[in-house]
Amino acid sequence: MAREKTRPAQQVVQKSSDDHAAPNPVWFKPVMFGFMLVGLAWIIVFYVSQGTLPIPDLQSWNILIGFGIAFVGFLMTTRWR
């Protein structure tokens, strides 16, 4: 009895619609990096001014605002193509 060797069926890989997505618009990268830099600058200004700038009434909430602005930029990196 001869055993027949069978080859596994070739799997057809279909590309999802995300593989053919269009590249980002021209403004996307500058805005993304802009958010990251503005958030960093916000935090640096807060520390250098010893809490008197950018918005003195917010006190330590300025740090959270700076991180929030920078975080928006980092979230945009997930959509960068």
In the chain (81 residues long), the average pLDDT of successive 10-residue segments reads 60 58 93 98 96 93 97 96 88
pTM over 0.85: no
Question: Does residue 58 lie within any of the structural domains?
Answer: yes
Q: Is residue 67 part of a domain?
A: yes
Residue 51, domain member (yes or no)? yes
Residue 76, φ and ψ in degrees, nearest 5: -65, -25
Q: Can you give the pLDDT at residue 77?
A: 96
Report the alpha-carbon distance of residue 63 to residue 75 in Å, rounded.
Answer: 18
The number of distinct structural domains making up the chain is: 1
Domain that holds residue 75: 41-81
**pLDDT (0 to 100) of residue 7:** 59
Q: Which residues contact 65 (CB under 8 A, 6 or more apart)?
A: 42, 55, 58
